[in-house]
Amino acid sequence: GAVVSQHPSWVICKSGTSVKIECRSLDFQATTMFWYRQFPKQSLMLMATSNEGSKATYEQGVEKDKFLINHASLTLSTLTVTSAHPEDSSFYICSAPWGSDTQYFGPGTRLTVL
């Protein structure tokens, strides 16, 4: 299957700083990528859809100015958590569709905000 990578796998930052998370499709091009947030022992919650060459589409309740998404190329999408606070601590997962239907997921990024 297709491979999606994420970097970093774990990041700790101070409150008020910004953190960038990268999502890359390694062996295929992805005009669309998805960003999810997952709390412990819960399901994945879709945050936004990242579109190459255009603005991201955010789900209801997700702050656009807090979670900045940039899809700079056909293999790279970035999620920047701006002015991070402890409540932003979570596990962030990206995915990319391969073929017409299947989503392949990155390994996730654990964000801890002190």
Partner 1 sequence: AQTVTQSQPEMSVQEAETVTLSCTYDTSESDYYLFWYKQPPSRQMILVIRQEAYKQQNATENRFSVNFQKAAKSFSLKISDSQLGDAAMYFCAYGSGNQFYFGTGTSLTVIP
CB 91 within 8 A of CB 108: yes
CA distances from 103 to 43, 51, 61 (A): 15, 15, 23
Which amino acid is it at 29? Q
Judged by CB, which is closer to partner 1: 83, or 102? 102
CB 84 within 8 A of CB 66: no
**Closest separation between CB of residue 105 and partner 1, Å?**
4
> 16-55 mask for partner 1 (x: CB under 8 A)?
----------------x-x---x--xxxx-x--x------
**Closest separation between CB of residue 32 and partner 1, Å?**
6
Within 54-113, the residues that bind partner 1 by CB under 8 A are 91, 93, 95, 97, 101-105, 107-108
Counting other chains too, the contacts that 61-68 makes at CB distance below 8 Å and 24 or more residues apart are: 67/35
Judged by the rule CB under 8 A, the positions of this chain that interact with partner 1 are 1, 32, 34, 38, 41-44, 46, 49, 91, 93, 95, 97, 101-105, 107-108
